[in-house]
Each structure stands twice: as structure tokens, then as C-alpha cells.
Amino acid sequence: MAQAGDPSEKEVTDTIVAPATPAGRGALGVVRVSGPHARRIAEEMLGDASPRPRRASVRVARRGDHALDRVVAVFWEGPDSPTGEDVLELTAHGSPEILRALVEAACAAGARPAQPGEFTRRAFTNGKLDLAQAEGVEAIIRARGARARRAAYERLEGGLSRAVAAARAPVLDLLTLLEARLDHPDEDISPLPDSGAVEALTLLRVPLARLLAAYDRGRAEREGLRVCLIGRPNAGKSSLLNALLGRDRAIVAPTPGTTRDTLEETATLDGLSAVLIDTAGLRDDASDAAEIEGVARAERELAACDVAVMVLDAARAPDAADARIGERALALAAREGRPVVVVHNKSDLLRDRAALSQGLAVSARTGEGLDALARAIAAAAGADSADEGETLLIGARDRDALASALEALDGARAEIAANPAAWEDRVAGRLRDAHARLGMILGEGAPDEVLRAVFSRFCVGK
């Protein structure tokens, strides 16, 4: 028996109880109890002195002499249970009054009301699932739409955890190799040449970069693909936005420079939800402060979007400024890795189609080419790619960990360049860092504030 003040007593948790179903009325409602007193609570509420684990039994749940409801009771004996502790699950009629009375009866028998996410947190603490999977519990409950649901299920089943483990294993292999040399300099372990190390580090990046790309796709799916319309003033960006929306939202005017700010609207393009962003026209002779700021914002949108649509005016022969400005925008998009779809707008004014360089002919006025444009945007976003990472649900916490792991790997490469032939120690440090960052996705060594932040997003009863 643990004495008061005995450090091992910290390991003993109290017993928690909460309704596991929403507070409405329905056929069934579930109350869950988890912790060392679950067995005693079963005895007190159900008269079951030794409930058979994992067997459903029909019992009258009581508080003292009062019958509360006839319930189906299931008892699990820890550690082989959903939370790793003794668990009692009572399925009653779905009435908020009954569930409240059951929770109160459990509290009278020694439980306390659970905090948000506390059941899942205990499952995590007891090694039933890692942190990535624990977040999958929340995700699958919140998921809207079949794709989001599949991705959340995959995460809950350990899909992301396996991908992270697979990306991490070779990091550890390389680290072990370097450490063996560092720890035993006299032994006959052949050194890794600089070029071999750079190559190994470059290979380590690949799976991490893929997971990060999956994050971008997932975000686009959740929040809508960010599609920004860029081009010179008067090319018809605002008109195209209206045409794609099927209604007038942006101001269209024959005078160039009408759109000085950016404007966002959600639309469905080829079945994908998208956020269309109208921007101020790109120019290199912006004169007033508002114009200059408008161009700067347009460039920021271009750098941050998922797909850029470069709108050219098919009714006008391109001049030197068009070429300069177009090149600058394409270079920026290329540097940021943003796909660009080029369209020639005002195709209704065009007599000679053959004169068009590559790109789609569209008309905001007649609607010509708009369906093809929507398909081209979806294709450019990689929405139809059957990439393996596609089904992985990657959240902001994972993204940060992946990005800092990549940074550590890139730092390791920089160490080799900076200190040829004397980098092993520092590279080992960077690899340890990358390894630890990836472990954070799984919750390894996660400080209490991280765990609290993760589980506080859950509702009570999960």
C-alpha cells in the first residue's frame, strides 16, 4: 500500500466519470467510468461484486435504494481496456436526466466528473495510443465529409504514426553511425565522406517534405483551396472572379486600378471548395501609396496561395511592361512553389485564336472556358493526385514539428558545408534534434502544457 507522500502514489489516478453521448434525448445514452474505483462503483450501483470483464449484462442501476434505469453494463479490467484502467460503461436510455443521475451516483460511489479529453489522455498516458492517434479521436468526431472522415480514421488507426516512424528510422540509423564513430574514435569504423553525408541527409528530407505537402493539401481541403487571380490592371480579374462565382461580387470597371485591396469569396470549383482571391493589378509604375500597397498585397497572396491564375488580356497585344511584370510574378510563384494557371481572358474579343501562346482561352463575359479553368485549377492543386500522403490527416502541431525537423536536417547539411571533415559532432546534434522533433508528433516527452493544450480541445466524455 502506498504511503502518503510516497512518490509512487502519484501514479495512482482517481476515478473519473462522464456521459459519453451528447446531452440530447435519444434511444440510448452512455456513461463511462474509468479508474481504480470502477469495480467498486459497479458493485455499489449495480450490485455486481465481481463483474465479468468484457461481458454485457443487463442490470438495474441504483443510487442507494432508488432505481435509476435499467442499463446494459460492460466492465473492462485494466490494463486491457480502452483507457488502460478499469472501465465501466453503462448504456442507459438517452435522457439527460438519467445520465445526470448516473453520473451523480458514480460520484457518490467515489468517482469525480471528468475533465475534457481526460479519458483519451489516460489512454495516451497508459500507452493505448500515441498523441497523433489521440488527436485522431477528436478529428474523427469532428470530421465533415467522407474524405475528412477517412483521413481521421486513418490517423486514429496509426497511419500518421507509422509514416512518422518510417521517416524517423533512417534519421536514427545515421545518428547511430555517427555516434559510434564519435564514441569509439580508435575503432575501425570507416568515416562517412562529406558527400555521402550530404546525400544521406538529402534523402532523409524526402518523406518529411511529402508529409508537409500533405498538410497543405489537407488544409486546402478543410479551409478551401486558396486560388488567387493575378495580372495587370484591366485584364479582367474581377470579372473572372464574378464569373466563377456566378454572381457580381467584385467591382468591375473599365478604368484600370479599381481593385486596390484584395477580396476573398468562397466558391466550388470542379467539386472542390475554394477561396477565390481578387487582387489589385500588378504594375511596376504604381504611383500612390494605395497602389503600391495593393501590388505588395497581391504579391503576398501569390506567395501564400495554393494555385495562382494569371489573367492576361487577350484583346491587347502584350507590351514590354507586360513581359516584365509577368516574369516577375512567375519567378515569385516558382520560388514559392505555387502552381500557375495562365488564362487569356476576353476571348470573345479575339479574332485570331492561333495567335495565343500557351494557356486557356476564357471569357468572363460569355463564360467560355470557365469549366476548363476550374478543372485546370483543381489539377494544378494536385487534387486528383493519388499520393499516398493524401489520406493522412496532418494538423498544425504536426506541421510545426515536421518543419522544425526539416530545419534541423538542413542545418546539418549547412554544418558539413561550413566545417568540411569536422562536422560529425554537430551533425549528430542536429540529427538528435530532428529525431526528437518528430517524436513530438507521437507525444514522446511531451511537456504537460502540450498535453493540456491538445486535450483541452476535446469535449468532456472523450
With contact defined as beta carbons under 8 Å apart, do 132 and 164 qualify? yes
Distance in Å, CB of 255 to ligand GDP, minimum: 8
Asked if 242 touches Mg ion (CB under 5 A), the answer is no
List contacts with ligand GDP (CB under 6 A). Answer: 231, 233-239, 252-254, 258-259, 281, 345-346, 348-349, 363-365
**Pair type for strands 272-278 and 112-113:** unpaired
Q: What are phi and psi of 441, to 5 degrees?
A: -60, -35
Distance in Å, CB of 280 to Mg ion, minimum: 7
Residue 294 touches which of ligand GDP, Mg ion, none (Cβ within 5-8 Å per kind):
none
Which of 143/311 has CB closer to ligand GDP? 311
With contact defined as beta carbons under 8 Å apart, do 31 and 101 qualify? no
Which cell numbers in the block locate residue 368? 467560355
Residue linked to cell 495565343? 356
Other CB atoms within a 10 A radius of the CB of residue 303 amount to 15
Which of 269/402 has CB closer to ligand GDP? 269
Residue 345 touches which of Mg ion, ligand GDP, none (Cβ within 5-8 Å per kind):
ligand GDP
Which of 161/234 has CB closer to Mg ion? 234
Name which of 208, 244, 232 is nearest 369 in CA terms.
Answer: 244
Binding segment for Mg ion among 44-52, 111-119, 237-245, 284-292 (CB under 5 A)? Answer: 237-245
How many residues bind to Mg ion according to rule CB under 5 A? 2
Name which of 449, 438, 459 is nearest 130 in CA terms.
Answer: 438
Which of 71/252 has CB closer to Mg ion? 252
Distance in Å, CB of 347 to ligand GDP, minimum: 7
Distance in Å, CB of 221 to ligand GDP, minimum: 28
Of 81, 120, 161, 259, which one interacts with Mg ion (CB under 5 A)? 259
Distance in Å, CB of 248 to Mg ion, minimum: 12
Which of 219/260 has CB closer to ligand GDP? 260
Name, in order, each residue with C-beta under 8 angstroms of 204's C-beta and a sequence gap of 6 or more.
167, 170, 171, 174, 409, 434
With contact defined as beta carbons under 8 Å apart, do 387 and 369 qualify? no
Which of 43/368 has CB closer to ligand GDP? 368
Which of 120/238 has CB closer to ligand GDP? 238
SS3 content of the chain, % helix, strand, coil (to 5): 50, 15, 35
Residue 171 touches which of Mg ion, ligand GDP, none (Cβ within 5-8 Å per kind):
none
CA distance 314 to 369: 13
Which of 323/459 has CB closer to ligand GDP? 323
Residue 348 touches which of ligand GDP, Mg ion, none (Cβ within 5-8 Å per kind):
ligand GDP
CA distance 462 to 253: 54
Distance in Å, CB of 278 to Mg ion, minimum: 6
Distance in Å, CB of 234 to Mg ion, minimum: 8
By CB neighbour count within 10 A (0-12 exposed, 13-18 middle, 19+ buried), where does 246 fall?
A: exposed
Residue 279 touches which of ligand GDP, Mg ion, none (Cβ within 5-8 Å per kind):
none
Asked if 238 touches Mg ion (CB under 5 A), the answer is yes
Binding segment for Mg ion among 186-194, 255-263, 267-275, 306-314 (CB under 5 A)? Answer: 255-263
Name, in order, each residue with C-beta under 8 angstroms of 110's C-beta and a sequence gap of 6 or more.
15, 37, 40, 41
Which of 200/252 has CB closer to Mg ion? 252
Asked if 133 touches Mg ion (CB under 5 A), the answer is no
Distance in Å, CB of 231 to ligand GDP, minimum: 6
Asked if 345 touches Mg ion (CB under 5 A), the answer is no
CA distance 74 to 131: 26
With contact defined as beta carbons under 8 Å apart, do 297 and 279 qualify? yes
Distance in Å, CB of 242 to ligand GDP, minimum: 8
CA distance 230 to 238: 10
CA distance 145 to 164: 25
Cβ-closest position to ligand GDP = 236
Residue linked to cell 541527409? 201
Which of 133/239 has CB closer to ligand GDP? 239
Residue 349 touches which of ligand GDP, Mg ion, none (Cβ within 5-8 Å per kind):
ligand GDP
Provide the mask over 263-292, with x wherever binding to Mg ion is found by CB under 5 A and - wherever it is not.
------------------------------
Distance in Å, CB of 291 to ligand GDP, minimum: 12
CA dihedral sign of residues 6, 11, 12, 14: positive
Q: What are phi and psi of 281, to 5 degrees?
A: -65, 145
CA distance 229 to 329: 12
Which of 161/345 has CB closer to ligand GDP? 345
Residues that bind Mg ion (CB under 5 A): 238, 259
